[in-house]
Each structure stands twice: as C-alpha cells, then as structure tokens.
Amino acid sequence: MDNQAVSDHDLHVFSDVAFAPTADDVIRAMKIRKVSPSLSRLVTALVKESGEVANPKALCRVSYIDSRNDDAVVITGRTFTSRVLRQNLDGVERVFPFVATCGTELEGLLHDRSDIMAAYCLDTIMMLAVNAARRHVQEFIKRTFSLGQVSRMAPGSLQDWPLEQQGPLFDLLGDVEGLIGVRLTERYLMTPIKSVSGIFFPAEVRFESCQLCSRTNCPGRRAPYDPGACAKYGLESAGTA
C-alpha cells in the first residue's frame, strides 16, 4: 500500500492568498516598544516594497486514513509514526496534509538586505505572510467540509513526531516545489524558511503541540505546557525535536 497514487482532484492549490498588512501591523508584530520616526519610515517603505511582490501560497490534499496501530497511522499509503498524532486521529477518517509559505518573492527581498533592522522587518513581514497562507488553508477546510473546529500537527514540533517525517508528507502532497515553490533540504528543512507544513484534522477539543512541549521562553508558543496532557498521551515530556 505504501506510496499509492493520489489523484489531482483531491489537491487544492492557493496561489492568490490575500495579504495586505499595514505598517502598524508589522510594527506590532515586531514587538518594539519605542518606535522612532526613522524606524516608522523604514517599516512603511518596506511594507510598500514587499506589497509589490508578496505572493504567499499554500496547498492541501484531502486524504484518508488507511490503517492505524499503537504509534503510527497510514494516510493514503504513507506511514506517519507518532503516538500523539495517532491518538489525535482516533475516530477521524479524513485529514488534510498541507504546506503554506510566504513565497519565494518575499524571501528574495530578504536576501538583498545587510541592514539588521531592515532584515528583521522583512522577516516579520514574511512571518505575517506565511500565517496568512496557513489561515487561508484552515478556513478553506472548515468552510468546504463543514467542520466546526480543526487542529494541526507538524513534523518536528515534538520529539514524538520527528522532522524526518517531512519526507512522507511531501511525498503525499506531490510536486510541492513546482506548485508553490517550497522544497525540502537534505535535513528536511523547508525553503523558503518562512514555510509551515503539517496535517489539519477535525477536533472536538482544540489541540496544540505546545501543550506537550516543556521548552521555556519560546517565542512561538501558542498554548501553555500541560503535564496532564503529556500523561494523557503516555509521554513523560514530549519536548522539541
């Protein structure tokens, strides 16, 4: 069953994701308390420049669960080994593997910058862009398939689901680089660097991998660490990979 063919009609590509942040949006995301007039001018100029080329993109594939065991799940012929993912997919038959990206266009702007503050500003704009693309996919899934709530997991977000599992995820999605410009490196990192991947799934109760990660001072934390959740999934401490 491994590597079974997938049909194109199950694949949804989004190359027209709306993205128009204001300078205030960017400054707020940069988390700078005191904004000087020169910084305000810099951000305004970079928002205008990035707006001329920004093209965040995403794709997802409607996929189905073939089988399960104690610590793995087979989705359209690809095996994903994770006790947490396996438990989260109890009673679920349809899932939505996805990739979202800020786009190669914005990353190209970043490569041309030597000024630290300009680079930080562009990095923030890229972060906002990939978040917009990810939300676009999420809302599409909820709207199209009449799902009240969805959660997501990503390879590499926990030791329980290592980054190497990007391999079968990208294999399941097909020509990700050709469709939206995202490729995997030999170490299973994505380029453009501001790209996210994972699996969306219906959930009665919201799940965040952060609940199982004890790492402190994480700027990307979306939920507090929950030792009780670790016990629920049979993990002493999930941690990051």
Instruction: Determine, yes or no, domain membership for 2.
Output: no
201 and 212 within one domain:
no
pLDDT bracket for residue 213 (50, 70, 90): low
Same domain, 79 and 100: yes
142 and 190 together in one domain: yes
Query: In this structure, is residue 31 part of a structural domain?
Result: yes
Q: Are residues 138 and 93 in the same domain?
A: yes
Q: CA-to-CA distance for 96 and 76, rounded, in angstroms?
A: 11
User: Do residues 148 and 25 touch, judged by C-beta distance below 8 A?
Assistant: no
Same domain, residue pair 132 and 142: yes
Q: Which residues contact 199 (CB under 8 A, 6 or more apart)?
A: 75, 80, 85, 95, 96, 97, 98, 152, 153, 154, 169
pLDDT tens-place string over residues 71-117: 999 999 999 999 999 999 998 999 999 999 999 999 989 887 889 99
Please say whether the beta carbons of 123 and 169 come within 8 A: no
Residue 104: both structure tokens together: 């190669």
State the chain's mean pLDDT as an integer.
88
Percent of the chain with pLDDT over 70: 80
Is there a single domain that holds both residue 150 and residue 232? no
Answer yes or no: do 121 and 232 share one domain. Answer: no
Residue 29 lies in a domain: yes
Is the domain of 213 the same as that of 201? no
Kindly tell me if the per-residue pLDDT of 1 is higher than 50.
no
* 176 assigned to some structural domain: yes
The whole-angstrom separation of Cα 223 and Cα 76 is 30
Q: Is residue 62 part of a domain?
A: yes
Q: For residues 103 and 113, state if they share a domain.
A: yes
CATH of the domain at 73: 3.40.109.40
231 has pLDDT over 80: no
- Strands 57-61 and 11-14 come out as antiparallel
Range of the domain at 104: 8-207
Examine the pLDDT at 60 and tell me if it is beyond 60: yes
Q: Are residues 114 and 217 in the same domain?
A: no
Q: What is the dihedral of CA 196, 201, 204, 206, to 10 degrees?
A: -10
Residue 143 within any structural domain of the chain: yes
Indicate if the pLDDT at residue 200 is higher than 80.
yes
Q: Are residues 102 and 213 in the same domain?
A: no
180 in a structural domain: yes
Do 216 and 201 lie in a common domain?
no
The whole-model pTM stands at 0.84
Number of domains in the chain: 2
Ordered DSSP codes for 18-75: -----HHHHHHHHT-SS--HHHHHHHHHHHHHHHTT---EEEEE-EEEEEE-SSEEEE
End-to-end CA distance of the chain: 29
3 found inside a domain: no
